[in-house]
Amino acid sequence: MTTGDLEPAKPAIETRDLTRRFGPVTAVDRLSLTIPRGELFGLVGPDGGGKTTTLRMLAGILGPTEGDALVAGHSIRTAPEAVKHRIAYMSQRFGLYGDLTVLENLLFYADLFEVPRRERAVRIERLLGFSNLTPFKDRLADKLSGGMKQKLGLACALIHTPEILLLDEPTNGVDPVSRRDFWRILYDMLKEGVTILVTTAYLDEAERCNRVGLMHRGRLLALDAPRRVKSLMAGDLVEILVTEAWRAREVLAGVVEAKGVTLFGRRLHVAVEDIARDLPAVQAALETAGLDPREARRIAPSLEDVFISVVEREGSAAHERAA
Amino acid sequence: MNARPDLAVRVDNLERRFGDFVAVDRVSFEVATGEIFGFLGPNGAGKSTTIRMLTGLLSPTGGSGWVGGFDIRTQGESIKEIIGYMSQKFSLYEDLTVGQNLDFYGGIYRIPKEKKAARKTWALEMAGLLGREQSLARELAGGWRQRLALGAAILHEPRILFLDEPTSGVDPISRRNFWDLIRSLSRRGVTVFVTTHYMDEAEYCDRLALIYRGRMIALGTSDQLKRERMPDAVLEVAVDRPVDALDILPGVPGVREAALFGALLHVVVSDAATGAPAVRTALEAAGMTVERIEKIPPSLEDVFVSLIEAEDRTETPTAARGC
């Protein structure tokens, strides 16, 4: 694992065998990960895979059972308070005060993080501006829609210009329009050199990251740039448009050439070993079933394809070991 | 104007005001029995308020509605017997097992003793929970919790199921499994009324309604909306620095919107023939390498965002977008 050829002074985050157990469950299992400064890093994986536990440890909130991590150069074991001052952490339930207005919430967090008084007005104005919350600054936080709450949460987390931003599924339940606003804020942060570690259930968001880690059962199954992670998928992937995607999947369950079938709306992603050899059988089966397959084309797998394939492969391997 | 037995849901000029605020503004639509009906819209658009009226939890201030042939104004109790409802914040008893949670809900629904065991088995099977009966609710990962909530919502074999963002915050594999369950319920004749922010899930719906600021601004199948409601063209752009391109594109003549889709850009232009060369020229002038520009059929997200922004343009220009 390298941190790039320029080797900046110190990585933003460096974990060594970071482990967290809860009773018999190992939530995070000897995680070693280096995130250089300025990187946008995405942590993805199934629910319960260890993403949130990792973030909570990096935020200095939860102590590790074994191993350590340096966050902005400070050990989460020995200097968690120093870590907290260099980072912003937005948990899935970020603590907004419902009976305070948007502006009052920002002022509260400015106090909490001891933002110098003379800097407050400028900073708050800027955060309100790029979160499009200026017209709502006097609205009670409880009266905000879900997307606006998330943006206010992010604005509060950013009030002290952190070096590192830890975001735990920040766009859950946020509609597509608000999601775009939210990501614009993150890009602005990146331009200022902030390092961002984000977990997300939206794999199209993960595709935008410099690197992604795929976490499952506490371990990293993959760690690389999104396009390199995709090389983990063997064989070819074909996209086919059909009239009834669900029925098509049932039909293809009986076709040996189709190694995996995933629905993306009306589009079918069919994994085959060799497109030239295997596609005719797939198409013939769909035609016989009257499903009118159209526009079959080879596609590069999306991160979601890879995610499903890797996690399912891992799942069945574990199953075999257990059996 | 009366109930029609072939319709699971019918609303006519349905309205709900809270003081001066019109949360739902004269909305009319019909949902056929067995249909999967997707109810989309930004946070705070009025989706949950509509569902609360349809489920008999909130009375309308105007218009009328029928669910399963019953009047939502006067027959709320009859409606509750034939519907299942899974809200965004469903409540499970954390220290009870899966089986005990279902027993508890069986009591609430007053399922006759002799039917209890059979219904429970059916719900466990439909929700994919067989083998998990002994797990404590608090030990379930996100996707499994969602299934348990679904199991509880279908214990009494409802004819109509209301699901309010059932997959929010659930990982991609669990989301797919959950939609398989929705699909199989629909095949058994259950009508499914569902809200989601995941546009790939919206593609699985038979028909979609898009609601914004309380008003319904689009209604139709996914194909219809893409064909008929997207006057602008969508260009897919592969460029070496997509995030930087986002800064430049809004200034290019003819460009209405630019957004990231994974590592690619979708650029909405009023005319593809002039827009594509203009986009290429602008990006290359900024020193970027444009790999490919291709006109593509719009995604549902393109249509969704475009309809909302068109709506924003027709509203008073000073009105700020709510989220």
pLDDT in tens, B171-203: 888 888 889 889 989 988 999 999 999 888 998
Mean per-residue pLDDT over chain B, rounded: 89
Residue B84 pLDDT: 93
Task: Tell me how far the alpha carbon of residue A76 is from its chain's centroid.
Answer: 22
Q: Which of A176, A311, A312 sits opposite B197 (nearest CB)?
A: A176
Domain B231-297 has CATH 3.30.70.100: yes
What are φ and ψ of residue A249, in 5° steps?
-65, -40
The size of the A-B interface in CB pairs under 8 A is 124
Q: Which of A136, A176, A312 sits opposite B305 (nearest CB)?
A: A176
Q: For residues A19-53, b (16+ Cβ closer than 10 Å) or e, as one string?
A: bbeeeeebbbbebebbbbbbbbbbbbbbbbbbbbb
Residues of B within 8 A of A241 (CB-CB) are none
Q: For residues B180-204, b (16+ Cβ closer than 10 Å) or e, as one string?
A: ebbeebbeeebbbbbbbbbbbbbbb
Q: Check CB contact of A300 with chain B, cutoff 8 Å.
A: no
Per-residue pLDDT band for A312 (boundaries 50, 70, 90) equals confident
Per-residue pLDDT band for A6 (boundaries 50, 70, 90) equals very low
What are φ and ψ of residue B195, in 5° steps?
-110, 145
CATH of domain A13-229: 3.40.50.300
Task: Concatenate the DSSP letters of all residues of B5-46 into one string.
Answer: TTEEEEEEEEEEEETTEEEEEEEEEEEETT-EEEEE--TTSS
Check whether B22 has a pLDDT greater than 90.
Answer: yes
Residue B274 pLDDT: 94
Residues of A within 8 A of B246 (CB-CB) are 184, 187
Do the Cβ atoms of A203 and B301 come within 8 Å? no
CATH of A234-300, one of 3.30.70.100, 3.20.130.10, 3.50.30.50, 3.40.50.720: 3.30.70.100
- In CATH, the architecture of B7-226 is 3-Layer(aba) Sandwich (3.40)
Task: Tell me how far the alpha carbon of residue A235 is from its chain's centroid.
Answer: 26
Summarize the confidence of residues A165-170 as an average pLDDT.
92
Per-residue pLDDT band for A8 (boundaries 50, 70, 90) equals low
Both tokens assigned to B25: 């503004």
Check whether B268 has a pLDDT greater than 90.
Answer: yes
Q: In this prediction, does ipTM exceed 0.90? A: no
Q: Which of A92-96, A149-153, A195-199 has the highest mean pLDDT?
A: A195-199
Do the Cβ atoms of A48 and B168 come within 8 Å? no
Summarize the confidence of residues A124-151 as an average pLDDT.
86
Interface of A with B in 6-25 (CB under 8 A): none
The Cα–Cα gap between B233 and B254 comes to 10
Interface of B with A in 138-177 (CB under 8 A): 141-143, 165, 168-176
Residue B82's identity, in one-letter code, is: I
B268 to chain A, closest Cα gap in Å: 14
B66 to chain A, closest Cα gap in Å: 28
Residue B315 pLDDT: 64
Distances (CA, A) of B256 to A232, B213, B308: 37, 22, 13
The Cα–Cα gap between B170 and B144 comes to 9
Nearest CA in chain A to B204: A265
Check whether A318 has a pLDDT greater than 70.
Answer: no
What does the angle CA B180 – CA B182 – CA B185 come to, to the nearest 5 degrees?
110
Q: Check CB contact of A111 with chain B, cutoff 8 Å.
A: no
Can you give the residue ranges of every domain in chain B?
7-226, 231-297
pLDDT tens across A205-246, in order? 898 899 999 999 999 999 999 888 888 888 899 999 888 888
Nearest CA in chain A to B200: A265
Q: Which of A19-23, A128-132, B316-320 has the highest mean pLDDT?
A: A19-23
Per-residue pLDDT band for B3 (boundaries 50, 70, 90) equals low
pLDDT tens across B276-306, in order? 999 999 999 999 999 999 998 898 999 998 9
A258-262, B25-29, B73-77: segment of lowest average pLDDT = A258-262
Residues of A within 8 A of B175 (CB-CB) are 201
Question: Is A61 exposed, middle or buried (CB count within 10 Å of its CB: 0-12, 13-18, 19+)?
Answer: middle
Can you give the residue ranges of every domain in chain A?
13-229, 234-300
Q: Does residue B214 come out as left (phi exceeding 0), alpha (psi in the -120 to 50 range) or beta? A: left
